[in-house]
A = this chain, B = another copy of it.
């Protein structure tokens, strides 16, 4: 009721992080292409140089002839400077470096734990959380102190825990997490309509899907298009492609271009549980018992891939080169939309058009059989200064144990990180389904080593 109306032509956006480039550039282009909102983007990164480069690129985007709005770019010297007076805060940081991620992803392989991504759950996701949560404590406290009324969009993984940490630190925060993984499955349904029914041109926005679960382990409990329930069709589709996989329907979002899968994991989960899993197979496989990731051969059989961190390192080099080239003018800016919805949600929050989208926020009852307060992913209705979750109903009983397990683990992961509690950390680490075959002794050794490998990013209390 104490809503204030903002001037949509003079907005202030604080962009925290962005060193990973891709997200920042896409977001800046999305802003540039939208004629309804203008303002200033303040770039803050612990790597100040990266922020400077992004500023230059941002200004080039602003100067592009196809640009539809006016955005200024400034580099901030501190969180306080970036946040004070901000209307929106975007968080997209890389916690640590790919060296730490190398430990997250590859060290567990010695115990037969193969992780396709390693940034959400499992051994890798747990360790990433240990170093990320303290960073989000810092960010959350800064928002509480300098921008308590701002809307905060998070893109960083582990998504659920990042958002959860912000609410732990500052319960009144207006934060939410955005992730495009659900979009990929919506596009798969569009592809299905095309290949199975010859219906062309359906866009994911034309569907209605009831989204439920937690980030990267999200599920659709209903999916309809123009008055048609898509579940019966999907059931036939799954039976047809369960063994061979379905290749054409891959996610064409640029972010996932190297990350294709043949949907076999998704199809197998549907056969078992009767609900549509709605994330890339690489993510989904990490949330269940190691059925799909027992070893690299099994992964190949299920037709998805293990992303080596060496690839990420190489990819980063290329993106840094791209950054250089854009800054130096060697390469031209191309102005195209990212396919992300962040700027649309931002506009909805400004009152420029209500919209329904999936979002990661604390459970207020939108999923009545998951714990209140846990960060869940469901649809919400976005409007002026409002994100009202849409009731998703109870998680279907068949998948409830799978999701609840991670929700409870994540809560303990948060506590372990906040308290630097090695005992709770270890039992939580061992309780992940991917580690269920590991002996306690092996698990403890791995835990200690992985923790040691990221010592530089952890509170000293861990090692006292």
A384 to chain B, nearest CB (A): 4
Return the contact of A401 from the options B224, B229, B396, B412 (Cβ within 8 A).
B412
In the complex, the chain B residue whose C-beta lies closest to that of A383 is B208
Residue from B368, B389, B423 in contact with A272 in the complex, judged by beta carbons closer than 8 Å: B423
Q: Chain B contacts of A78 at CB under 8 A? A: none
How far, in Å, is A445 (CB) from chain B's closest CB? 15
Question: Hey, which chain B residues are within 8 Å of A229, CB to CB?
Answer: 3-5, 384-385
Judge whether A328 is part of the interface by a CB distance below 8 angstroms. Answer: no
Interface 1/0s, chain A 387-410, versus B by CB < 8 A? 011111100111011101100110
A8 neighbours in B (Cβ, 8 Å): 227
Q: How far is the CA of A439 from the CA of B390 in the complex (A)?
A: 37
Q: Does A77 contact B (CB under 8 A)?
A: no
Residue tally, chain A, CB below 8 Å to B: 72
Q: A228-B5, A351-B228, A390-B390 are in contact. Are A427 and B398 (CB under 8 A)?
A: yes
CB closest chain-B residue, reference A441: B291
Rounded to whole Å, the gap between the CB of A239 and the closest CB of chain B is 14
The smallest beta-carbon distance between A293 and chain B, in angstroms, is: 12
Measured CB to CB, the nearest residue on chain B to A408 is B401
A307 within 8 A of B: no
Interface assignment of A273: CB less than 8 Å from any CB of chain B? yes
For A408, what are the chain B residues with a Cβ–Cβ distance below 8 Å? 400-401, 404
Candidates B3, B366, B404; contact of A404 at CB < 8 Å: B404
Q: Residues of B contacting A389 with CB < 8 Å?
A: 390-391
Q: A208-B383, A225-B351, A405-B405 are in contact. List 18 more A-B contacts (CB 8 A).
A: A1-B221, A1-B396, A3-B231, A5-B229, A222-B386, A227-B350, A227-B351, A227-B384, A272-B426, A273-B427, A291-B439, A369-B371, A381-B381, A388-B392, A389-B391, A397-B424, A401-B405, A436-B437
